[in-house]
Amino acid sequence: NAGVTQTPKFRILKIGQSMTLQCTQDMNHNYMYWYRQDPGMGLKLIYYSVGAGITDKGEVPNGYNVSRSTTEDFPLRLELAAPSQTSVYFCASSYPQTDTQYFGPGTRLTVL
Amino acid sequence: DQQVKQNSPSLSVQEGRISILNCDYTNSMFDYFLWYKKYPAEGPTFLISISSIKDKNEDGRFTVFLNKSAKHLSLHIVPSQPGDSAVYFCAASGIKGAGNTGKLIFGQGTTLQVKP
């Protein structure tokens, strides 16, 4: 079991570029989440999904998009990167009706 | 509006002593609380949790206490070990039921340093 995997580990983008952060889980979890963590701050929820084909906004969704075509994958898309999106991004997954989320190792993104 | 707050950004303790990490919340609808531990360059890992129907939960060296009237929870680590040095996040979730999506609200984190 690999758990939750994220790629890439690091990325530097120029302002206005786009990219997709990949997230895959092999635990057959229905629920998946994307968070960002800024220095000295907690994790803020960007988007979440309760199953394939179902996504919804979290606390800080502006500038991001998601899709969920399979149970395993939950990619996060940045269309027009801005310096304010410099952060560490974590993907997580869980079973329905439980609170214990399992996190990936994170992607450190810098927008210059 | 920070619904879950960890007011101490850092804590330093001596190996073998007790570490006490604190967390306050404002929303009385939270009914489940969790502590996560995070090492540098890794994702958070689940440590221990407590339901609002309890006031204490213990797992080895880790104990979480919940004071609902004060909207306060704390994590006790006894005895503290150098390997416990990490960032600790508390998190809260809402009442279970139809439509609950397991969303967690996180505090800002407390960096614990355990000195040998």
- Residue A109 included in any domain: no
Side-by-side strand order, sheet with B4-5: B4-5, B19-25, B72-77, B62-67, B56-59
Q: What is the pLDDT of residue A39?
A: 83
Q: What is the mean pLDDT of chain A?
A: 93
Residue B111 is part of a domain; what is its CATH number?
Answer: 2.60.40.10
Residue of A nearest to B37 (CA): A103
Residue A53 is part of a domain; what is its CATH number?
Answer: 2.60.40.10
DSSP state of A73: B
Q: What is the pLDDT of residue A95?
A: 84
Each residue's pLDDT, cut to its tens digit, for chain B (116 residues) gives 679 999 999 999 999 999 999 999 998 888 899 999 999 989 999 999 999 899 999 999 999 999 999 999 999 999 999 999 999 999 998 755 545 567 889 999 999 999 99
Question: B45 — contact with chain A (CB < 8 Å)?
Answer: yes
| Residue range A19-41: mean pLDDT, rounded | 94
Chain B environment of A68 (Cβ under 8 Å)? none
Chain B environment of A38 (Cβ under 8 Å)? none
User: If we measure between CA atoms, which residue out of A74, A89, A44 comes closest to residue B104?
Assistant: A44
Full domain range(s) for residue B41: 4-97+104-115
Confidence at A97, pLDDT banded by 50, 70, 90: low
Number of domains observed in the structure of chain A: 1
- Residue A41 included in any domain: yes
Chain B environment of A45 (Cβ under 8 Å)? 103-104
Full domain range(s) for residue A25: 4-75+85-100
Distance from CA of B95 to the nearest CA of A (A): 10
Of A40, A96, A103, the CB nearest to B44: A103
